[in-house]
Structure 1
Amino acid sequence: MSSIEAAKPQKEVSPLLKLVLELGPLMVFFFANSRGEWLAGHFPALAELGGPIFIATGLFMAATAIALAVSWVLTRTLPMMPLISGIVVFVFGALTLWLQNDTFIKMKPTIVNTLFGTILLGGLLFGKSLLGYVFHSAFKLDEAGWRKLTLRWGLFFLVLAVLNEVVWRSFTTDFWVAFKVWGTMPITILFTLAQMPLIMKHSLDQENAE
């Protein structure tokens, strides 16, 4: 019985629901920051957290926990990248609320993107295209394709880390929150689409993939 269960394919979440689970916490963060005073007035418990950015941080943590829980319930597994990002959200979010210092939550994207970029590029130094372990179920690429894609994503994550540092240190908190939602996500989508020619060039047919 156990061997049969082990052979069962992993449940997949629909692309639309996956997008909601990934973008939902960010949208909550943006809304809570822009409507922080309104939320504090209607929900006194939230006012105890502090100003709008702190209310947004608390709700962002809650929304992230819900998104991870829903993902677990539906698939009985947690994707590595959202899990790592969630852990950083909880740690830096807790520090933000405890110390009443929004620097911690602003540095969260820097930490996460630097971590992902370092892991991917570090893996290449040891001859491992780690991106293949993450997206092997979505794409079947040859070794050269995985190496190139891993290198590009590793560098892209580091660029996002630098970009986040520039934005939060140079602009207002409201601008940073807006950029986090309406800037970073479109940039990431455009970058992902730009990789399609590489993916198509190095894709394996089903027979060769097996």
Structure 2
Amino acid sequence: MSEKSISPLTKSILELGPVVLFFVAYLWLRDRSFLIGGTEYSGFVLITAGFVPVIALSTFLLWRLTGSVSKMQLVTLVLVVIFGGLTVWFNDERFFKMKPTLIYAIFGAILGIGLLRGQSYLRLVMDEMIPLDQAGWMILTRRFCAFFFGLAVLNELIWRTMSTDAWVNFKTFGLTIAIFAFFLVQGKLFREHGTAQK
């Protein structure tokens, strides 16, 4: 299936919608517990059970509408299914809280392997979005590699030392702000190594 374009709004809804729904549902059910089949589940675990099919559906719709799904989205989906399933199966929210750590550690490791081989794997997935020369891609890849490992460590620190409320706020808003800030501080790199106007 060839890649097709969709409106930025539709794409944003499909990519960010599941996270927003998770946050809203958490605010609504966080203090409640539910007895299902003789087992008591917290609101968090129940929301996680609902989040898995929602993100699977949004990824499927994104694929149907555009004809492609990035490797990053596929890895995220697989880990959501695995860790979401473990959370529900063992009735233990810690599994789902560990998911971002593993996601960012995997992305960091993949970029690190590429760097050891003298390659920018980041360029393979973002080349059309960010026009940079080879030196710029290597610099950005090193920074992204460190950034991903930093997010993995930060997620571990937050979920292990803070409340579930704090972790949900970090996951919903903190990570988004961190990624936005990361791109903002790359302005000098984009100016010096950009190829769009060269």
Higher strand share: 2
**Paired residue type of 2:49:** G
Does 1:150 find its partner at 2:141? yes
Secondary structure of the corresponding residue to residue 182 of structure 2: helix
Residues 104-134 of structure 1 deviation map (CA, whole Å, 9 limit, x = unaligned): 1000000000000111011100111001001
For 1:81 and 1:48, how far apart are their aligned partners in 2?
Answer: 35
Once the 2 structures are TM-superposed, how far is the Cα of residue 142 of structure 1 from its aligned partner?
0.9
Find the counterpart in structure 1 of residue 27 from structure 2.
34
Distance change in 2, residues 1:182/1:104 (3 Å): same
Kindly report which structure 2 residues correspond to 1:15-164, keeping only aligned pairs within 5 A, or say none: 15-36=8-29, 50-164=41-155
For 1:68 and 1:189, how far apart are their aligned partners in 2?
Answer: 22
Distance change in 2, residues 1:12/1:154 (3 Å): farther
Contact 1:28–1:59 at 8 Å: present in 2 too? Answer: no
Once the 2 structures are TM-superposed, how far is the Cα of residue 37 of structure 1 from its aligned partner?
6.3
Distance change in 2, residues 1:49/1:141 (3 Å): farther
Structure 1 unmatched runs, 5+ = none
For 2:96 and 2:149, how far apart are their aligned partners in 1?
Answer: 18
Structure 2 unmatched runs, 5+ = none
For 1:146 and 1:169, how far apart are their aligned partners in 2?
Answer: 34
**Paired residue type of 1:22:** E
Distance change in 2, residues 1:168/1:142 (3 Å): same
For 1:73 and 1:34, how far apart are their aligned partners in 2?
Answer: 31
Find the counterpart in structure 2 of residue 197 from structure 1.
188
Contact 2:30–2:44 at 8 Å: present in 1 too? Answer: no
For 1:135 and 1:184, how far apart are their aligned partners in 2?
Answer: 19
**Paired residue type of 1:97:** V
Number of aligned positions between the proteins: 197
Secondary structure of the corresponding residue to residue 50 of structure 1: strand
For 1:82 and 1:184, how far apart are their aligned partners in 2?
Answer: 16
Contact 1:49–1:55 at 8 Å: present in 2 too? Answer: no
Residues 24-54 of structure 1 deviation map (CA, whole Å, 9 limit, x = unaligned): 111121122221269978xx98x97821111
Contact 2:55–2:77 at 8 Å: present in 1 too? Answer: yes
Q: 1:13 aligns with which of 1, 6, 31?
A: 6
**Paired residue type of 2:193:** H
CA RMSD across the alignment = 2.3
Secondary structure of the corresponding residue to residue 41 of structure 2: coil
Does 1:179 find its partner at 2:170? yes
Distance change in 2, residues 1:16/1:200 (3 Å): farther
